Amino acid sequence: MFHVGGTSSITCALVRSGSFYLVEGFSTTQFWNQVREGQCSTTSGLIGVMAAFLSKAEPRADDADNPLKYITMFPVNEETIAFAKRFGFDYLTGFNMTEVSTPLMTDMNAGYDGLPEATARAWRNGWFHTGDLFRQDEQGKYYFVDRIKDTIRRRGENISSFEVENAIRQFPQVDEVVVVGVANEVAEQDVLAVIKPKAGDPFDPAKLIEFLSPLLAYFMIPRYVRLVNEIPKTETNKPRKVVFRDEGITADTWDREKAGIRLRRERL
């Protein structure tokens, strides 16, 4: 209930004279039991890796036999689309944050409690700066690109860590992944993928690079791959990227250039 995802959902239920089934927290193993027990037609947004965790469960004949009708999901990609189809519900997406709930139509908040410098950085010239990058198409629709602090700058190219993570997540042996920029020997950054592999077969970083080659531009493909047992999360189940950004290149990090794998721009 400390998060806008909890308070806004309960507020919506009260406004619509609906009922709300409150649980202690998100649980991969209990989620569908709770949905059926509470006869829930919708739920708080499935953000980040929540849908990915749920989609990894073994398929069952009664997967779509649940009361869910509509869910807000972040992000929407091939994996989440397949997840919605498998469990038989529709979905929408959007952008939101606790500080400025529904940010395209909001009044000012009172700032961060006891943090005047952080408040001053966020509020400038009458605008709240979320720290996110978006693009807008000709129809006026907005598309999330990345968090500004998570964007990677490599040899003059801006790289969305969000886009690279979505591609890596399609590799069959990947359970979880975060992508961060790390300083290189010359200037700017190189791409580091921190991966929690699925249990089973040994993980071969070279095969991952081969898999990514047709999916990503050459400059977006990670130079470094690090395998970990766990990726730490925030209280809202988002990965703590700052941990790996601060640690940088560790002794157990694989370097594709040292492995003799160098990628070049294709010439037409």
At 15, phi and psi to the nearest 5? Answer: -60, -40
Number of Cβ atoms within 10 Å of the Cβ of 121:
12
Looking at residue 92, its pLDDT comes to: 82
Tokens 């860590």 found at:
161
What CATH number does domain 149-255 carry, 3.40.50.2300, 3.30.300.30, 3.30.565.10, 3.40.50.300?
Answer: 3.30.300.30
**pLDDT per residue as tens digits for the range 60-70:** 899 999 999 98
Tell me which residues of the chain have a pLDDT lower than 70. Answer: 48, 100-107, 186-187, 266-268
CA distances from 146 to 24, 135, 162 (A): 30, 10, 6
Looking at residue 194, its pLDDT comes to: 96
How far apart CA 49 and CA 55 sit, in angstroms, is 10
Q: DSSP secondary structure string, the chain?
A: --SHHHHHHHHHHHHTT------SS--TTTHHHHHHHHT-S--S-EETTHHHHHHTSPP-TTTT-S---EEEEES-SHHHHHHHHHHT-EEE-----GGGSSTTS-------TT-HHHHHHHEETTEE--SEEEEE-TTS-EEEEEEGGG-EEETTEEE-HHHHHHHHTTSTTEEEEEEEEEE-SSSSEEEEEEEEEPSSSPP-HHHHHHHHTTTS-GGGS-SEEEE-S---B-TTS-B-HHHHHHH-S-TT-EETTTTT--------
What tokens were used for 239? 């990965």
Looking at residue 168, its pLDDT comes to: 95
The letter for the amino acid at 172 is P
Q: Among residues 149, 118, 114, 105, which one has the least CA distance to residue 131?
A: 149
Looking at residue 206, its pLDDT comes to: 96
* Structural domain spans, the chain: 4-92, 149-255
Looking at residue 48, its pLDDT comes to: 66
Write down the pTM of the prediction: 0.61
| DSSP H/E element including 177 | strand 174-183
What tokens were used for 255? 């370097």
Q: In this structure, are residues 164 and 191 in contact, taking their beta carbons and an 8 Å threshold? A: yes
